[in-house]
Structure 1
């Protein structure tokens, strides 16, 4: 299991263990990214798969839980600490099998970890 905080929700996000985030709107610092299709946790690497709809040509993106800054259950929104263009620039997500691919997940972690404003990985 990874101790890397990019794969876990921060203590102030409002995340509750077992909470179903499917269907929540995902907002970046500069606009809406899309809708959470599902949450996955292969080998301790918790992340959201987000349907970006039209703005990113209808593709889905993988967003690590560590990028989440807040969850509003009343308004069904998730806020992340990155911009739309940063999410769009992440390693391309194409198939569900990638969520089980350690090399792909390592690239995703490195990309998001290096963005400005991200929490420091746990040691």
Structure 2
């Protein structure tokens, strides 16, 4: 994961201005959901992923640095986390968390350390 959790890696293939809404999201071990919202803002980029029925309709906030590849042809976004890591992420509610800096810091820490599954800090 890049040093700034809230930025897309240059190697991801993400093109600023591309509307990712509705695109498939793939974890390292399979399909996780679709992009409900996203931000391209430099230093504040993220995906809100609707996991649908997979984990009871939970939405999750993924920092842009979790994105490893954006496939423009297949309209798919690939992330460097497993389904279980995403499922175990802190719960997200857009109406109360999207502008909450403390929540964003919690999310950044969760993904930098790999959540409950370990990992190395960025």
Partner secondary structure for residue 6 of structure 1: coil
Count of residues in Structure 1 that have an aligned counterpart in Structure 2: 118
1:96 offset after TM fit, Å?
A: 2.9
TM-score normalised according to structure 2 size: 0.88
Distance, in Å, in 2 between the alignment partners of 1:118 and 1:16 is 27
Over 3 Å counting, the alpha-carbon distance change for 1:107 and 1:43 in structure 2 is farther
Q: Quote the residue 2:87 is aligned against.
A: 88
Distance across 2 between alignment mates of 1:32 and 1:117: 22
For residues 66-85 of structure 1, give each alpha carbon's deviation from its aligned partner in whole angstroms, at most 9, with x where no partner exists: 00000001000000000000
State the superposition RMSD in angstroms. Answer: 2.1
Compared CA separation, residues 39 and 88, structure 1 to 2 (3 A): same
Distance across 2 between alignment mates of 1:10 and 1:117: 18
Unaligned runs of 5+ residues in structure 2 are none
TM-score normalised by length of structure 1: 0.87
Shift in Å, 1:46: 1.1
Q: CA 1:43–1:69 in structure 2 vs 1: closer, same or farther (change >3 Å)?
A: closer
The aligned counterpart of 1:57 is 56
